[in-house]
Amino acid sequence: MTEKNYLIVDKYGTFLSKHSERIRVKIEGKIVEEVPIIHLAAILITSRGVSLSSDVIEICSKNGIDVFFISGNGDIYCRLGGAAPIGTVRTRREQLMSFNDKRGLILGKSFAFGKIMNQINLIKYYGKYRKVADPSLYDLMNQEIQKLEALLKELDQLEGEKIDEIRENILNIEGRAASIYWNTMANLVPEEMEWPGRVGRGAQDPLNSGLNYGYGILYGQIERSILLAGLDPYAGFVHTDRAGKPSLVFDLIEEFRQQVVDRVIFGMVGKGSELKVNAEGLLEDKTRRLIAQKIFDRLEAEERYEGVKHKLKTILLKQAQAIASFVRGDRPVYKPFVGSW
What is the arithmetic mean of pLDDT over 106-130? Answer: 96
What is the arithmetic mean of pLDDT over 210-222? Answer: 93
Cα–Cα distance, 19 to 30 (Å, whole number): 14
Task: Based on the fold, state whether residues 284 and 145 are members of the same structural domain.
Answer: yes
Domain harbouring 210, CATH code: 1.20.120.920
Cα–Cα distance, 63 to 237 (Å, whole number): 31
Number of structural domains in the chain = 2
- Domain extent at residue 321: 89-328
The percent of residues above 90 in pLDDT, for the chain, comes to 62
pLDDT at 41: 77
Task: Based on the fold, state whether residues 16 and 116 are members of the same structural domain.
Answer: no
Residue 76 has pLDDT above 70, yes or no: yes
Q: State the chain's mean pLDDT as an integer.
A: 90
Domain harbouring 25, CATH code: 3.100.10.20
pLDDT at 209: 93
Is residue 333 a part of any domain in this protein? no
Residue-wise pLDDT for 259-312, tens only, equals 999 999 999 998 888 899 888 878 888 898 899 889 999 999 999 998 899 999
**What sign has the CA pseudo-torsion 44, 48, 50, 56?**
positive
User: HEC states along 12-39?
Assistant: CCEEEEEECCEEEEEECCEEEEEEEHHH
Task: Based on the fold, state whether residues 118 and 42 are members of the same structural domain.
Answer: no
pLDDT at 168: 95
User: Alpha carbon of 267 to those of 183, 198, 295: distances in Å?
Assistant: 17, 16, 11
Task: Based on the fold, state whether residues 220 and 265 are members of the same structural domain.
Answer: yes
Task: Based on the fold, state whether residues 175 and 316 are members of the same structural domain.
Answer: yes
pLDDT at 328: 94
Task: Based on the fold, state whether residues 121 and 179 are members of the same structural domain.
Answer: yes
Task: Based on the fold, state whether residues 29 and 168 are members of the same structural domain.
Answer: no
Beta partners for residue 52, in sequence order: 16
pLDDT band at 243 (very low <50, low <70, confident <90, very high): low
pLDDT at 83: 61
Residue-wise pLDDT for 35-74, tens only, equals 898 878 788 888 889 999 999 999 988 887 888 888 776 7
What DSSP designation does 262 have? I
Burial, 60: exposed, middle or buried (Cβ in 10 Å; 0-12, 13-18, 19+)?
Answer: buried
Is residue 285 a part of any domain in this protein? yes
Q: Give the number of other CB atoms < 10 A from CB of residue 1.
A: 16
Give, for 8, the enclosing helix (H) or strand (E).
Answer: strand 6-9
pLDDT at 132: 87
Cα–Cα distance, 32 to 23 (Å, whole number): 11
pLDDT at 85: 52
Residue-wise pLDDT for 160-212, tens only, equals 999 999 999 999 999 999 999 999 999 999 988 889 999 988 888 999 999 99
* pTM for the model: 0.85
Find out whether 82 and 56 touch, Cβ atoms under 8 Å.
no
* DSSP string for residues in 175-220: HHHHHHHHHHHGGGS-GGG---S---TT--SHHHHHHHHHHHHHHH
